[in-house]
C-alpha cells in the first residue's frame, strides 16, 4: 500500500501543475481510495451462505439508508403547517424518488376519497364542467420531467449569518419528477373560455382551502392537471388524487388536491398572494406575483455534513442546476470563492425547466478553498452572487432566493456554509 | 345532460366519417364522460373540515392505490426463486417508481451490509483492485434513463393459447428508471486490461452466487456500475449496494449485488448461459448469448382487466415502446387486427434504450376490434407479428418474445388477449 500511495502522490503532484480544477474526462485520473489485492478480505460473506429474503409487492429502501429522509420543519402549534426538505445531499442523478419529494402543506395532508373527489371548472366559461377522477382518465395525457420549487426555498440565505445546514435541508424545497396528466388547456377549452377571462383561481381540497390566482395564459401554455408522478398515481402529500403542475413556476401555484378552477377577470388577492409569497419593498409597494423560479444551482457534493479525508486527492464536484425559464446552458465552478471559474460538464438529457446534473473533477491539495457554482440558462440569465441579490432586493427579501451558494473547505477538510461575495 | 349527449353523439357521427382512428391533436375531440353543472354535488367534503395528516420522512402511495403492486410468481419450493411483475397497466408516463421495478431473483434478496461489501476486479488485468462502496463514491458518475428487461419477459406468448393476464402481469418483467453510477470502463481501465481479455465474468453476492459471461466490449461501451436508482440508493431487490446496468441487454446480465468482475479469454459457460437463457434449436445447436432486447411495444390502455363502458366514445390508446438497439422511431396502431395501421404520437423525450410512451385517440363505435401496436427502432427493425416470430424461432422458443400483442375488444366492451397473425 505504501508504495502505491507514494506513486499516486507523485502523479498527483505532476498533475497539480495543470491547475486545481480539471474537466471530467476522468480517464487518466488516479483515484487513490481503492486497494490492490486479488483476494477477497474475508471468507464468503454471510449473506451468500443462506437464501435471501422474499419478493415484495412494493419495495422500500434498504434499512442501511434510513438516514436518507425528508427533514420536517413544521409549526409546533399547527403541525400540518410547514415543510419537509428533499435530502439533495444524499441523492444522485436528477430524478427525485416519490418518497422524498419535498412537501409544503398549509393545513396537513387531506385524506381524499378519489371516488368522491370532483374538479369543478366554472366562472367565465360557456359551460361549467365537473370532472370525476374516472372521467379525467379518459382524456389525452402528457408527461414531462420538471422541477417544482417552493418560493420560500433557500430563504435562510436572507439571514445575516450563514445557516449551517446540509445542502438539502437549506435548499431542498425543490424536487424533480416525471408528472403525467391532462393538459389544463384541453379542459378549459372544453368548458369554453369567455373573452373577459384573464386569471384563474385555483383551489385545493385541503382544510386550508388554499386558493391562489394564476394568469390564464400560463394554464393555456404548459400546465398539467397531473394524476401521476414518476409513473404511479400521485401520492397523498403531493396532491392525490390530482394537482396542478406549472413548469418553472413557484410551488404554491402548483395547487395540490385541486378541486376548482374558476375563470375570472382579476386576481382574487388571497392570503397566499398578499400576506404571503410577496415582499414589502422600501417604497411601500409589494413585490407580488413573482411566479418564475429564476436560474439557480447548488453543489450537492462535497457539501456541509460531508468531510474530505485528511489527505489531498481527487474529488468529483457534483450538483444540480435548474431554471424556470428554460434549459440550463452553462454551469461554472469556482474553488477559490469566485476569483476564477471553470465550466462544469452538464449531464444530459438537458430538459426544459428540469434538474440538470453537473460535475467537475477537482484536485484538492489540502488548501483552504471556497466552492461555488454559477448557473446560466438559455435566456442568458446568470445566477447572481449573494451580494448582488441582497443589494437588488434589500432587507425585505424573503422569497425567491437564488444566489450562488458557497461551501468553505478548511485545511482539515471540514465543510462549512459561508457567504461569498 | 340528455341534450348534450345527443349533441356529442351528433359530432361523433360526423367525425366518424374521418375514420375510426384519429391522431392525438385532441383539441376538437368531444370527451363525453364529464358532467355539466356549476354546483359541487355535496357540501364541503369531510377532508376539508378538519386538519389533514402529518408530514412524513418518507412517503408512501395512497391507501386507495393498494392494488397497484408487483405480482409475485415465485417457486413454492424455493420462494426466493421467481419474479415479480411491474404493473404496467396501472402506470403512466415512462418512469417506473422504485417500489414497482420488476424483480427476478434466483435465491432471494441478500441482506448486504454496505460497509462490508467489496467489489473485486481481477483476472486478466495488470493490477487486481478492490473497491468498497465508500471508495466508489469518489469516482465520476453518470446517469442514464433506460429500461431493463428480463430475457424471459412475455414468454407466455410462446404458449399455444393466449394467457388471460393483465398487460403488466404478462409483459411487465421490464421497467425503466434513472440509473446513476460509475462507468465500468473507468474501473477496468484503472485495473489495466490485458490484451487477451475478451470476456468478463460477473458474479453477484446473493446465495445463488449468480455468475454470467459478458463481452468485454459491452462493459467498455456504456455499462454502469449503478449505485443509485431514480435519485436514491438502489433498493435491496434491485441490487443494493451496487449492480451492473447494461443498457438494452437482457436482465440477467445486469448482475445485482455485484461482487466480482473477472476478465477472461472465453465465456465461463455458467448455468445461466447454458441451461438457462438459451434455446435448443431444431438442428440440436443452442441459441445462446442472445444479449439484446429487440424492439417491442405494448398497449397498456385499454388492456385486459379494464373495460370500455357500454357505449361508444373516445378512448386514448396509450402504451410503451422500447428497443435494446437505440431509440424508438415509430409506433403504429391497428384497431382491426393488423389490416390497417396509423402512426401513434411519440411522447418526448425519446431516449436511447428507454421507454417511449405513445398514444392515439380512438373513436370506438361499439364494434368488435383488435388493438395492436407495432414498434420500429432507429435501426429500421420492425417488431414482428406473432406468426413471424414463432415461424422464425420454432417450438423451442422460450426467451426474447417480442411479438405484437393483440387485445380483442368485444361489442360489449370486454377486453381479451388474443393471438393475431
Percent of chain B at pLDDT > 70 equals 92
- Measured between CA atoms, how close is B161 to chain A, in angstroms? 28
Percent of chain A at pLDDT > 90 equals 79
How far apart, in whole angstroms, are the C-alpha atoms of residue B239 and residue B241?
Answer: 6
Closest by CA to A57, choosing from B178, B233, B148, B66, is: B66
Predicted confidence at residue B123, as pLDDT, reads: 97
Q: Where in chain B is the domain with CATH 2.60.40.650?
A: 296-418
Predicted confidence at residue B3, as pLDDT, reads: 34
- The predicted model gives A172-185 an average pLDDT of 98
Q: Where in chain B is the domain with CATH 3.90.420.10?
A: 103-287
Predicted confidence at residue A29, as pLDDT, reads: 47
A372 Cβ contact partners less than 8 Å away, ≥ 6 residues apart: A299, A333, A334, A337, A338, A404, A405, A406, A407, A420
How much is the CA Rg of chain A, to the nearest whole Å? 24
Averaged pLDDT of chain B: 91
* Set of chain B residues whose Cβ sits within 8 Å of the Cβ of A207: 47-52
Q: Which stretches within A181-240 are classed as H helix?
A: 184-191, 216-221
Whether B193 and B124 have beta carbons less than 8 Å apart is answered as yes
Predicted confidence at residue B13, as pLDDT, reads: 36
- The predicted model gives B38-55 an average pLDDT of 90
Could you tell me the pLDDT band of residue B110, with boundaries at 50, 70 and 90?
very high
H or E segment to which residue B168 belongs: helix B167-171
Task: Between B236 and B391, name the one with better pLDDT.
Answer: B236
- Measured between CA atoms, how close is B289 to chain A, in angstroms? 26
- Measured between CA atoms, how close is A106 to chain B, in angstroms? 9
B207 pLDDT exceeds 90? yes
Averaged pLDDT of chain A: 91
How far apart, in whole angstroms, are the C-alpha atoms of residue B190 and residue B131?
Answer: 12
H or E segment to which residue A282 belongs: none
Q: Per the structure block, which three cell numbers stand in for A151?
A: 418560493
Predicted confidence at residue B43, as pLDDT, reads: 84
The reply to whether CATH 3.40.50.2300 applies to domain B296-418 is no
Quote the strand ranges of A206-265, DSSP E.
Answer: 211-215, 224-229, 232-233, 243-245, 258-264
* Set of chain B residues whose Cβ sits within 8 Å of the Cβ of A259: 40
CA–CA–CA angle A360, A363, A369 (5° rounding): 90
Closest by CA to B262, choosing from B351, B318, B209, B200, is: B200
Q: Per the structure block, which three cell numbers stand in for B69?
A: 403492486
The pLDDT tens digits of the residues spanning A342-396 come to 999 999 999 999 999 999 999 999 999 999 999 999 999 999 999 999 998 887 7
- The predicted model gives A75-85 an average pLDDT of 93
Percent of chain B at pLDDT > 90 equals 79
Q: Do B52 and A209 touch (CB under 8 A)?
A: no
B197 pLDDT exceeds 70? yes
How much is the CA Rg of chain B, to the nearest whole Å? 24
A137 pLDDT exceeds 80? yes
Q: Per the structure block, which three cell numbers stand in for A398?
A: 424573503
* Set of chain B residues whose Cβ sits within 8 Å of the Cβ of A100: 58-59, 231-232
How far apart, in whole angstroms, are the C-alpha atoms of residue B176 and residue B198?
Answer: 29
| A322-326, B27-31, B183-187: segment of lowest average pLDDT | B27-31
A5 pLDDT exceeds 50? no
Q: Do A72 and B91 touch (CB under 8 A)?
A: no
Whether A211 and A270 have beta carbons less than 8 Å apart is answered as yes
Could you tell me the pLDDT band of residue A287, with boundaries at 50, 70 and 90?
confident
Predicted confidence at residue A74, as pLDDT, reads: 93
The pLDDT tens digits of the residues spanning A52-71 come to 999 999 999 999 999 999 99
- Measured between CA atoms, how close is B193 to chain A, in angstroms? 14
CATH number for region A103-287: 3.90.420.10
Q: A interface mutation test: which of B55, B177, B346 has the most A CBs within 10 A?
A: B55
- The predicted model gives B208-217 an average pLDDT of 96
C-alpha dist (Å) from residue B236 to A52, A303, B64, B135, B205: 10, 27, 26, 20, 12
- The predicted model gives B353-375 an average pLDDT of 96
Beta strand B286-287 with B279-280: parallel, antiparallel or unpaired?
antiparallel
The pLDDT tens digits of the residues spanning B151-174 come to 999 999 999 999 999 999 999 999
CA–CA–CA angle B317, B321, B325 (5° rounding): 165
Task: Between A5 and B316, name the one with better pLDDT.
Answer: B316
* Set of chain B residues whose Cβ sits within 8 Å of the Cβ of A134: 33
Amino acid at each position: 500500500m505504501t508504495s502505491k500511495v507514494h506513486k499516486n502522490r507523485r502523479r498527483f503532484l505532476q498533475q497539480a501543475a495543470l491547475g486545481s480544477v480539471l474537466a471530467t474526462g476522468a480517464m487518466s485520473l488516479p483515484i487513490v481510495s481503492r486497494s490492490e489485492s486479488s483476494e477477497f478480505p474475508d471468507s464468503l460473506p454471510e449473506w451468500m451462505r443462506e437464501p435471501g429474503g422474499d419478493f415484495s409487492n412494493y419495495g422500500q429502501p434498504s434499512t442501511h439508508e434510513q438516514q436518507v429522509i425528508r427533514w420536517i420543519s413544521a409549526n409546533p402549534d399547527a403541525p400540518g403547517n410547514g415543510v419537509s426538505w428533499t435530502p439533495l445531499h444524499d441523492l444522485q442523478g436528477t430524478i427525485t424518488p416519490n418518497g422524498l419529494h419535498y412537501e409544503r402543506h398549509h393545513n396537513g395532508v387531506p385524506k381524499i376519497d378519489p371516488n368522491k373527489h370532483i374538479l369543478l371548472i366554472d366562472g367565465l366559461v360557456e359551460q361549467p364542467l365537473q370532472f370525476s377522477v374516472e372521467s379525467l382518465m379518459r382524456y389525452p395525457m402528457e408527461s414531462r420531467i420538471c422541477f417544482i420549487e417552493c418560493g420560500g426555498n433557500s430563504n435562510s440565505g436572507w439571514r445575516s449569518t450563514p445557516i449551517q445546514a446540509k445542502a438539502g435541508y437549506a435548499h431542498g424545497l425543490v424536487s424533480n419528477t416525471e408528472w403525467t396528466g391532462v393538459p389544463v388547456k384541453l379542459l378549459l377549452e372544453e368548458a369554453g373560455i369567455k373573452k373577459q377571462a384573464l386569471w384563474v383561481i385555483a383551489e385545493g381540497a385541503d382544510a386550508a382551502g388554499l386558493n391562489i390566482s394564476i394568469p390564464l395564459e400560463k394554464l393555456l401554455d404548459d400546465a398539467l392537471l397531473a394524476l401521476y408522478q414518476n409513473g404511479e398515481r400521485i401520492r397523498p402529500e403531493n396532491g392525490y388524487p390530482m394537482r396542478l403542475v406549472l413548469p418553472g413556476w413557484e410551488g404554491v401555484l402548483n395547487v395540490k388536491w385541486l378541486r376548482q378552477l374558476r375563470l375570472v377577470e382579476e386576481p382574487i388577492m388571497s392570503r397566499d398572494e398578499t400576506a404571503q409569497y410577496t415582499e414589502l419593498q422600501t417604497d411601500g409597494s409589494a413585490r407580488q406575483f413573482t411566479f418564475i423560479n429564476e436560474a439557480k444551482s447548488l453543489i450537492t457534493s462535497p457539501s456541509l455534513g460531508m468531510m474530505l479525508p485528511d489527505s489531498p486527492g481527487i474529488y468529483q464536484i457534483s450538483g444540480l442546476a435548474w431554471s424556470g425559464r428554460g434549459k440550463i446552458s452553462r454551469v461554472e465552478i469556482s474553488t477559490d470563492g469566485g476569483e476564477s471559474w471553470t465550466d462544469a460538464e452538464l449531464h444530459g438529457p438537458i430538459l426544459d425547466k428540469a434538474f440538470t446534473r453537473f460535475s467537475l473533477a477537482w484536485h484538492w491539495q489540502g488548501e483552504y478553498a471556497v466552492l461555488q457554482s454559477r448557473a446560466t440558462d438559455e435566456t442568458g440569465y446568470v445566477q447572481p452572487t449573494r451580494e448582488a441579490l441582497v443589494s437588488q432586493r434589500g432587507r425585505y427579501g424573503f422569497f425567491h432566493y437564488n444566489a450562488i451558494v458557497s461551501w468553505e473547505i478548511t485545511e482539515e477538510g471540514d465543510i462549512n456554509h459561508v457567504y461569498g461575495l
